[in-house]
Amino acid sequence: MKSVSFVSLLFLGLIAGVHGGYSYPPMPLVKFYTKECPEARGIVQSTVVAAIKKNVGSGAALWNLHYHDCFVRGCDGSILLDSSNYGPAEKESGVPDSPKEIAYDIIDEIKYAVETICPRTVSCADILTLAARDAIAELGGPEWKVCSGRLDGFISYANESKFYMPGPSADYQTLVQKFALKGLTEMDMVVLSGAHSIGKVKCSVIESSLYNSSGPCGVDPTLDPTYAMELKAQCPIGSSNLVFLTPPDTSVNGSSPVPYPGHRRLLATRSAGNVPSKRYYVQVSGKNRKKGKDAKSNQNLKVRNSKGTLRSDRNLMSTKSGKALVYREAGFSEKDLASAADKENQPFFHDLVKSMEKLSTLKDPSSPGGEVRCNCRSINL
C-alpha cells in the first residue's frame, strides 16, 4: 500500500535543497541496542542467513539496497519508503542495478520480528545496514564494524536517486565526482565497485554494449569479444533475462574462492557468481596471470579487452589512476598484497572493510530529523 506523507514533510524536503557536506563521523555505539533491544542483532543475522539459504541472490540484493540507501540522503532508510501522494519514491527510480525486490521483503520480515519484541526501538536504517554486512559475511566476504543509532528519514524522491546514483554507463570522471559528493575518495569508488563481484543484472542494461556500439558486430570496443559472445548467448535482443555481473569461475571444477580468514561462516551456501572476491577486478582488468614459475612477474601479464559486464566497470580502466587501483585490488602487484595468512582476496577485502565503514555512516545534515519507523515502508502517522 502506498504511504501518505504530510504536506509539512514535503515542504521540509523542498527546503533541504541540494545535499552537500556528507561526512562519516562515528555513529554513537557499536552496541547501541545492548540494553534497549539485545535480541535485535541476532534477529537480523538469523533472518539474513535463512534468506540466503533459501535464495543465495538475497545477499547481493541486500548489499545493493544498502549502497543505494546511503548514496541518497545518507543511510536513513529512505530507499525503503513506498511512494506517496506527492510523487514516486527512491525505489521507483528505475536505477537498473541488480534486482532488489527480494531485499525489501527480507527487511520487512526482520522489522516485524524486532517490533514484536522491541516496539519503536530499532530503526529500519540500522536493520538494513546490519543486514547488508551479515549477508556479505555469510557469503564468504569480510565483516566490518557496524555502529548503530541511525534514525529513519521522512523523505524519499525518485529524482534524487537519478541525480546522485552513478549509472551503469557512467564514465570515470562522473564516477569519481559522484563519490566525492559523499566525501568518498577515488579509491573508495573503485573498491566499492567491487560490489559487482556478486549478483546479477538485467540484460536490458547491457544490451547497447552488445548490439548498438561502434565495434565489430555492434559490440562495445572496450568489451572482450569472446565474453561479448557469451553475453549475447544469454541476452538476445529484447531479452528480460538476468546475467551475472561477474561470471562464475569454472576453471577449478567450479569451486568457490577461499573465504576471508577468521570471518563468520554460518552456512555452506556459497555458490559460483555469488561469492565476494577480487575476481571482479581480474575480469575488469582484462589481465590473467600465466601459470608456471614466472606467474609472479608482472611482465607475464597478458593484456586483453575488459570483461567488465557494465560499461561503468570497463571505464575503471580508462585512466591511469583507475588502472592502478584495479590492478591493486586484483592483487597483480605483489607489493600490494596484505600479509594475512590468506592472500586470496587481499588487498580487496582489507580495503572493502574500510570503505564500507565509511559508506555505512554517511549522514546528510540537511535532512529534517528522523524517527524510528513502525513500518519500514511508511512514515509514522
User: What pLDDT was estimated at residue 249?
Assistant: 66
Superfamily of segment(s) 172-356: Peroxidase, domain 2 (1.10.420.10)
How far is the C-alpha of 31 from the C-alpha of 55, rounded, in Å?
29
Distance of CA 197 to the CA centre of its chain: 9
CATH 1.10.520.10 placement within the chain: 7-164
Kindly give the interhelix angle for 124-138 and 101-117, rounded to the nearest 10 degrees. Answer: 120
Which part of the chain is CATH 1.10.420.10? 172-356
With a CB cutoff of 8 Å and minimum separation 6, the contacts of 51 are: 58, 102, 106, 109
DSSP-derived 3-state class of residue 152? strand
Is 99 annotated in a binding site? The answer is no
Q: What is the C-alpha separation between 159 and 92, in angstroms, rounded?
A: 9
377 Cβ partners below 8 Å, 6+ apart?
1, 3, 80, 81, 82, 104, 108
196 annotated among ligand-binding-site residues: yes
Residue 304 pLDDT: 54
**pLDDT value of position 248:** 77
The answer to whether 171 is annotated as binding is: no
Backbone φ and ψ for 78, nearest 5 degrees, come out as -65, -25
CA nearest neighbour of 322 among 137, 187, 210, 195: 187
Compute the residue count for the chain.
Answer: 381
For 7-164, CATH number out of 1.10.520.10, 2.60.120.10, 3.10.20.30, 1.10.1740.10 equals 1.10.520.10
74 is in an annotated binding site: yes
Please indicate if the annotation marks 90 as binding a ligand: yes
Cα 365 to Cα 347: distance, rounded to the nearest angstrom? 33
User: Which 8-state DSSP code applies to residue 315?
Assistant: G
Please tell me the predicted confidence (pLDDT) of residue 257: 44
pLDDT tens, N- to C-terminus, the chain (381 residues):
434 333 333 333 322 333 333 444 445 567 788 898 999 999 999 999 999 999 999 999 999 999 999 999 999 999 999 998 888 999 988 644 446 789 999 999 999 999 999 999 999 999 999 999 999 999 999 999 999 999 999 999 999 988 899 999 999 999 999 999 999 999 999 999 999 999 999 999 999 999 998 888 999 999 999 999 999 999 999 998 999 999 876 554 344 444 444 444 434 344 556 889 999 999 999 875 444 343 444 444 444 589 999 999 999 999 999 999 999 999 886 554 444 334 678 899 999 999 999 999 998 877 777 999 999 999 998
19 is catalytic: no
- pLDDT for the residue numbered 6: 31
Can you tell me the distance from the alpha carbon of 162 to that of 181, in angstroms, rounded to the nearest whole number? 14
Q: Which residue has the cell 513502525?
A: 374
Choose, from 19, 66, 68, 263, the residue flagged as catalytic. 68
Instruction: Confirm whether residue 101 is marked as ligand binding.
Output: no
Residue at 347: amino acid letter: P
Check residue 306 and report its DSSP letter. Answer: B
Helices (H) and strands (E) in the chain, counts: 14, 4
- To the question of whether residue 126 is assigned a binding role by annotation, the answer is no
pLDDT the model gives residue 340: 38
User: Taking a C-beta distance cutoff of 8 angstroms, is the pair 364, 19 a contact?
Assistant: yes
